[in-house]
Amino acid sequence: MLAKINSAGLHGLDGYPVCVQVDESNGLPRSVIVGNVSANVREALDRCTVAMKNAELPLPPKRLTINLQPADRRKDGSGFDLPILLGMLLSLGLVACSPPEDYGFFGEVGLDGEIRHVRGALSLVTALQEAGLQGAVVPEEDAAEASVVEGMDIIGVRSISDLRSLLSSEESFRSFQRGRGGQREESEPEKIPDFSDVRGQSFSVRAALIAAAGKHNLLLSGPAGSGKSMIAKRIPGILPPLSRKEDIEITKLYSIAGMLPKGRALYGKRPFRSPHHSITSTALLGGSGPGGIVPGELPLALNGVLFLDELPLFSKSSIEGLRQPMEDRFLVIQRLSGSFRYPADCLLIAAMNPCPCGHFPDRRRCHCTPSQIRSYQRGISKPILERMDLCVEVSPVSYEDARSRGRGISSERLREDVIRAREIQRERFRGLPIRCNSEMGIGEIERFCTLREKEESFMRRIFQLKQLSMRTYHKLLKTARTIADLSGEAEIGIPQLSEAVSYRSLEERLFGEEAAL
């Protein structure tokens, strides 16, 4: 008898429907898997036959042919174990009734008959739903994640015996314990360090607030020990709460990367990725690794923060690789096996020392020569610098600040401001494909950052004084827009513009003549 089971495979971030066909016929007892499968899928046959033996299910001397449709696509992963096993049981008549046609199956099978976790459950179930199915039978470990997809009937199974009792009759399929399906597990709030630990540094903290409010990329430059990393690590704590859509995007990605905490339905927090500066371009962006394509640090920072500490020490190729994805907010990786598209939408925070020894401009401690300082700063690519909306010089911590008892502004208060500003931005960009001020293009800037006459003439004077480029001018307007949103102003005024100017001058000076103070 021929059995057909619905399943799904993974391609990059998305799943695609696969039909597993198992046919039993008379002949020499030999089993084959066809349909352009990888070695990993071929192994499924061994796992399934041993699992059946250990579950005391007889494997009659029959010829079994297993086909994975569509056959023109390369299939990989251990998720096809369960549909293959089920197909074998069905075709051999070892289960009482066949499952409803609008249900899909995936899961890995162990030799002891246990059904184990697979990566990318969320993407797989989404693909099944898009293919018109009503429900899915998944490993119990993945049931919570799979049930994030609304409108799908998710059944979690733990072992072959579970599967057999599920399919013992139509009634049992209907009444089978759905487990935790449908419930969303409340994730424990992660402890993100609080901004109130930061002493002094009100200028840099303010810049961090603006960066978070408008999703402006931020470069912190300052001497060693001035608290650059401290500030960066606290930024995820002041970003607005995740929307369900954003959370699902993150969960999909982390599930495929195999980084989703066990039993967690949704990832539930904004990622904070801080790769070491020795990272290669492939590890930063993503590439092929064991088990298919592996997302890199940039895609993994999705909707969160990518923190590059010691920016000048990163290799040129890895930093230059960030240019296109930062502009387009997605990343395409091309390999022989196909091209993969990842969202790459994150807040980029970078930190750097002003010179190789890290003490400049304190000339009592820094003995770097001007040319050393220049070549160190030249290590940063100009195009990346141009994508930094805010460039801030962090001051060394003074004794008074270090010893002061007073606490800084708490993350909670900053976050309230950020949420309010984001709310204004959401209203503003309703119906547009952008979410934040930093994403505005020229057209949007002209529409939303209009200046009155007084401000216009003020900007003209600034333009001449600071010898700004047009690109910098636009960034100033975007930053000023966010500052105005933070204070709830409808129009950009001179105070907002002049504050925006104070977060800017680094870019111009960095490559110019003047470095000394």
Contact positions toward another protein, by CB under 8 A? 200-204, 206, 221, 361, 363, 369-370, 391-396, 398, 400-401, 461-462, 465, 483, 494-495, 498-499, 501-506, 509, 512-517
Distance (Å, rounded) from C-alpha 290 to C-alpha 295?
A: 12
10, β-bridge pairs: 15
- The residues, ordered by sequence, that sit 6+ positions from 276 with a Cβ below 8 Å of its Cβ are none
Instruction: Give the nearest distance from C-beta 493 to another protein in angstroms.
Output: 10
**Which residues make beta-bridge pairs with 302?**
none
Both tokens of residue 480?
């000023």
Please check whether residue 108 is in contact with residue 117, taking contact to mean a CB–CB distance below 8 angstroms: yes
Q: Which is nearer to another protein, 221 or 353 (CB)?
A: 221
Taking the complex as a whole, the smallest distance from the CB of residue 461 to another protein amounts, in Å, to 6
Instruction: State which residue, 172 or 410, has the beta carbon closest to another protein.
Output: 410
Nearer to another protein, 14 or 386 (CB): 386
**Longest Cα pair distance anywhere in the chain, in angstroms?**
90
Give whichever of 304 and 493 is closer to another protein, judged by the CB atom. 493
What is each CA distance from 86 to 52, 80, 116, 333, 431, in whole angstroms?
10, 10, 15, 35, 46
Nearest to 47 by CA among 118, 150, 142: 118
CB of 470 or CB of 517, closer to another protein: 517
Angle, helices 244-256/121-130, rounded to nearest 10 degrees: 110
What would the 3-class secondary structure string for 53-89 be?
HHCCCCCCCCEEEEEEECCCCCECCCCCHHHHHHHHH
Tokens describing residue 408? 């800084």
- 272: its two tokens: 């904070």
Q: Report, in Å, the least distance between residue 346 CB and another protein.
A: 24
Shortest separation between residue 257's beta carbon and another protein, angstroms: 37
As measured in angstroms, the least distance from the Cβ of 186 to another protein is 38
Q: Which CB atom, from 67 or from 437, has the smaller least distance to another protein?
A: 437
Placement of tokens 């002493």 in the chain: 199
Q: Is 232 left (phi over 0), alpha (psi -120 to 50) or beta?
A: alpha
Identify the CA nearest to 452 among candidates 490, 483, 414: 490
Q: Which is nearer to another protein, 186 or 400 (CB)?
A: 400
In the complex, least distance from residue 391 CB atom to another protein, rounded to whole angstroms: 6
Instruction: Quote the least distance from Cβ 470 to another protein, whole Å.
Output: 16
Residue number, 223 or 299, with CB nearest to another protein: 223
Tokens, residue 446: 């002209």
- Smallest separation (angstroms) from another protein to the CB of 502: 4
- Measured from the CB atom, the residue of 38 and 369 that comes closer to another protein is 369
Residues 463 and 476: their CA atoms lie apart, in Å, by 11
Q: Are 381 and 341 in contact (CB under 8 A)?
A: no
> Please, what is the minimum distance in Å from the beta carbon of residue 308 to another protein?
19
Compute the least distance from the CB of residue 479 to another protein, in Å: 12
**Cβ-based nearer residue to another protein, 3 or 515:** 515
Residue 70: is the preceding peptide bond cis (ω within 30°)? yes
Contact 235, 211 (CB under 8 A): yes
We find the least distance from the C-beta atom of residue 511 to another protein, in angstroms, to be: 8
Comparing CB distances to another protein, the nearer of 28 and 517 is 517
Amino acid at 295: P
DSSP string, 270-317: --EE---TT--HHHHHEEEETTEEEE-HHHHTTTSEEEESSGGGS-HH
